[in-house]
Structures are given as C-alpha cells and as structure tokens.
C-alpha cells in the first residue's frame, strides 16, 4: 500500500509525501455505551488507512482517494464544505482543528485503506484519526493532545457527517496498542490497557455485507431514546448525568413516564455497562467462558432491546451458539456489518466453513471472514 500511495503522490505532486497511518477497531464488549458515559473495550486492528501528506504553501487542500480513484480540492473556510461525502471526513478534521484555535494550511494528500466500509470496523474513524494525527504533527508541533484529536474526529462526525457518535472509534484508532484492548470510561476519559492474548482462542469477524441505508438516522434515534430515559431518571436522582450513572431500579421507577421503546433501550444500556466490567474481571482470571457468555447476552440485548441487529446477524449469532462457539455478537453500531466471535482454536475452521456455507445457502451471498490482529493505532511511519 505504501508504495502505491507514494507513487501516486509523486505522479500528482512531483515529490514524496510524509506517511501517516491509523487503524480500524474491534470492540470486545461495551456497545452503544460510549455516548451514555459508560465503558467500552475496543482495540485497534490490522486494517487501516494510510496517507502521504505534505503542506503545499497555499490555502487549498488537494486530496486523492486511491480506493475510489477520485480527486477533490477544497479550501479551509466553513463555506467550502465538499459536496461528496468522503472528503467531508478530512474537511471536518481540518475545520475542527481550526475551530479549536489550531493551525491547518493547504496540503496535498493521497490516501488508501483496507478497512471494509460499512462493516462496523470504523473505516471513517480510521480516516479521521490519520488526518487528525498528521495535521497535528505537520502544523501544530504535536501540541494537541491525543484525546482532543479523538474529539476532533468525533465532532467531524457530528458536524459534517450527520452521525451523533460517541468517542469509542476515534479513541481506539488513536490510542490502539499492539496486543492490547483498552477499557475506556467514556465519562471520565480514564483508560486502561489490557493485554489480550487468549490462549487457545481466536477472534474472527464474519461480515454479513449488509448495510442498511437508514443506519445513521436510526443510530441518532437510539441516542435520543437514551437521553430521554436519562432525563426522566434525573428528576428523581439528580446525580444521573448520563444513563450509565443510573441503577436498574431507578429505571423501573420511571417506567410509566417514558415510552416502552425508550425503556427497552435504557434497559439494554444499563446491563451493558455492567457487562464490560464483568468481562474485564473474567479476563483477569482467564475465564473465557464468562467472556463469551457476556458476548451472547450483549447480542440478545442489541437484538431484542436495542433493536440494532438484523436477520443476517441474528442468523450468524444463532449458528455460532449451535456450533458451541464460546462468544458471539453483533459488533459496532449494528444494522448490518459483522459479528465478532470468540472461538476455540480447534473449532475455528469448522465454524468458519459452516458459517460461510449456511449463510450463503440462506441469503444467496457469501459473508466475508476477517481474522483480526490487535495492532497499533495512529502513527507516523
Ligand atoms: C458506532 C459509533 C460509536 C459507538 C458504536 C456502538 O461505531 O461510532 O461511537 O457508539 O457505534 O457501540
């Protein structure tokens, strides 16, 4: 990928660029908890984005996306918002840095990536993080701290891409470390690295290749449900800043005041916040059976209470259970994308073969299978 990017950069701009990279992510557990002030437990992966970048002495950004074979130019004023969707991730990062008092001037860039798009592996966060990291290095002497860079990516999604996401994806993509998952408290920003080398197990992702077109608006609606539930609980318990601060019994107190739908969404979130902690405890005992069981519980919650699963994901989850896979669940925002599976090494091949065969038989197209390695996040190469 490196060579291809530099060759294209030379062809377009007549010199070499400076190389930066960042990563997509997985999340072992802790889904839809980030914007509720709860815990998440992600790690960066060996699929990412790489970019060659160089300041060009003008006020214009010149950007080429290898995967799309498309070239775009934009200026750095707010009015110059690009029409297409993909350059907005870069434009947004530039604008968010400028809004915070940082510096961004014109630059040339060529980028490429291998994070599957729409699979729930955060290809967009990988793109934002690559550019946030690079522009901090090139124009700001690395004065912006990494957590702020993650927020710059998150604000890009909010203000330029229409997704009111939490901080997990950008955080994982920036803070990722080879061989470690990171437990992040999304309310306080405290985080802890957990070495993750499950002896005798593998992590495998199975991608349904389904992407629902209304996923972004449905995601934002989930967030609104949670905020309404938290507001109702707060009336009785003013200490509840986020839904993750609420006890299950406090939710029961407001059952009649909120809609059934909001109640179910909140019920899922409160359970999920606890599951992250339980999984961390289990990992410290090398108790993968408990980790796996929690993953199945998360899937149940995401499917029945939070309602962000779909037929294809539920099918894969059920099949995993039937084949004695240790843990399995939908990963990421949902509405399509992947299941993440914790599977014993000796079962791995049979599980993957059977899942591909049965899925194809049922849905008429093959799922994709990704073997992920927990890797480093954003960096200069
Ligand atoms: C998407 C969002 C994240 C998070 C997950 C669900 O990936 O970008 O902030 O909310 O969904 O856990």
For residue range 4-39, what is the model confidence (pLDDT) as tens digits?
999 999 999 999 999 999 999 999 999 999 999 999
Q: Same domain for 226 and 84?
A: no
Choose the final residue of a domain: 196, 222, 253: 196
* 224 and 190 together in one domain: no
Longest dimension (CA), the chain: 67
> Quick check: is 65 in a domain?
yes
Q: Is 115 helix (H, G, I), strand (E, B) or coil?
A: coil
Both 38 and 177 in a single domain? yes
Is residue 167 domain-shared with residue 205, that is, in the same domain? no
**Going by DSSP bridges, is the β-strand pair 107-113/70-75 parallel, antiparallel, or unpaired?**
unpaired
Q: Are 177 and 233 within one domain?
A: no
Do 165 and 205 sit in the same domain of this protein?
no
For ligand 1, atom 10, the nearest C-alpha belongs to 32
pLDDT reading at 266 higher than 90: yes
Please tell me whether residues 189 and 213 are part of one structural domain: no
SS (H, E, C) 143-199: CCCHHHHHHHHHHHHHHHHCCCCCCHHHHHHHHCECCEEEEEECCCCCEEEEECCCC
- Domain-located, residue 340: yes
CA nearest ligand 1 atom 2, residue: 165
- 160 shares a domain with 139: yes
CB distance 151 to 129 below 8 Å: no
Q: Count H helices, E strands: the chain?
A: 11, 13
Evaluate whether residue 380 is within a structural domain.
Answer: no
- Looking at the annotation, which residues are catalytic? 169
341 inside domain: yes
Across 327-340, average pLDDT:
96
**How many whole angstroms from 32 Cα to the centroid of ligand 1?**
6
- The pLDDT tens digits for 229-262 are 999 999 999 999 999 999 999 999 999 999 999 9
pLDDT for 215 beyond 90: no
The number of folded domains in the chain is 2
207 and 189 belong to one structural domain: no
Asked if residues 351 and 320 have their Cβ atoms less than 8 Å apart, the reply is yes
Order of all β-strands in the sheet with 201-211: 327-330, 336-344, 201-211, 368-371
Q: Is residue 109 part of a domain?
A: yes
Q: What is the pTM of this model?
A: 0.96
In a domain, 378, yes or no: no
pLDDT tens string 43-57: 999 999 999 999 999
CB count within 10 Å of CB 358 equals: 16
Whether 45 and 167 map to the same domain: the answer is yes
Considering the chain, what is the average pLDDT of its residues? 97
What is the CB < 6 Å shell around ligand 1?
Answer: 31-32, 34-35, 122, 165-166, 168-169, 332-333
Q: What is the CATH number of the domain that holds 84?
A: 3.30.230.10
Whether residues 65 and 166 share a domain: the answer is yes
Please tell me the distance from the alpha carbon of residue 108 to that of residue 16, in angstroms, as a whole number: 10
pLDDT of residue 264: 98
For residue 270, tell me if it sits in a domain: yes
pLDDT band at 216 (very low <50, low <70, confident <90, very high): confident
Q: What is the pLDDT of residue 232?
A: 98
Distance 35 CA to ligand 1 centre (A): 8
- Looking from the CA of residue 30, the nearest atom of ligand 1 is 12
Question: Which residue, 142, 171, 196, sits at the end of a domain?
Answer: 196
For a pocket test of ligand 1, which of 38, 169, 174, 275 has the largest count of ligand atoms closer than 8 A to its C-beta?
169
Domain containing 330 — which CATH number?
3.30.70.890
List Cβ neighbours of 318 (8 Å cut-off, separation of 6 or more): none
- Kindly state whether residue 381 falls inside one of the protein's structural domains: no
Domain enclosing residue 266, as ranges: 201-372
Same domain, 145 and 208: no
Across 125-136, average pLDDT: 98
């Amino acid at each position: 990928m490196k060579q291809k990017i530099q060759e294209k950069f030379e062809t377009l701009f007549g010199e070499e660029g400076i190389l930066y990279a960042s990563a997509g992510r997985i999340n072992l557990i802790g889904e839809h908890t980030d914007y509720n002030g709860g815990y998440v437990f992600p790690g960066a992966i060996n699929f990412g984005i790489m970019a060659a970048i160089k300041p060009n002495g003008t006020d214009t950004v010149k950007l080429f996306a290898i995967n799309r074979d498309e070239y775009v130019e934009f200026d750095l004023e707010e009015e110059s918002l690009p029409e297409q969707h993909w350059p907005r991730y870069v434009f947004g990062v530039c604008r968010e840095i400028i809004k915070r008092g940082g510096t961004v001037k014109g630059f040339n860039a060529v980028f490429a990536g291998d994070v599957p798009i729409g699979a729930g592996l955060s290809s967009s966060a990988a793109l934002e993080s690559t550019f946030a990291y690079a522009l901090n290095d090139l124009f700001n002497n690395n004065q912006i701290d990494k957590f702020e860079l993650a927020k710059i990516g998150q604000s890009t999604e909010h203000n330029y891409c229409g997704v009111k996401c939490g901080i997990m994806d950008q955080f994982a993509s920036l803070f990722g470390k080879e061989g470690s998952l990171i437990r992040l408290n999304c309310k306080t920003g405290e985080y802890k690295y957990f070495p993750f080398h499950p002896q005798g197990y593998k992590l495998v992702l199975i991608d349904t290749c389904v992407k629902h077109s209304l996923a972004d608006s449905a995601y934002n609606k989930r967030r609104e449900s949670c905020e309404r539930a938290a507001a109702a609980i707060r009336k009785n318990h003013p200490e509840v800043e986020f839904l993750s601060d609420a006890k299950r019994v406090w939710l029961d107190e407001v059952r009649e005041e909120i809609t059934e739908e909001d109640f179910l969404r909140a019920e899922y979130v409160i359970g999920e916040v606890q599951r992250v902690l339980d999984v961390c405890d289990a990992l410290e005992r090398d108790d993968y059976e408990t980790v796996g069981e929690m993953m199945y519980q998360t899937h149940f919650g995401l499917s029945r209470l939070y309602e962000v699963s779909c037929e294809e994901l539920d099918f894969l989850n059920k099949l995993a259970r039937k084949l004695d896979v240790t843990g399995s669940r939908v990963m990421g925002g949902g509405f399509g994308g992947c299941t993440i599976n914790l599977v014993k090494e000796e079962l791995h091949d049979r599980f993957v073969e059977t899942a591909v065969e049965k899925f194809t038989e049922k849905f008429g197209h093959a799922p994709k299978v990704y073997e992920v390695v927990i890797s480093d996040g954003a960096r200069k190469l």
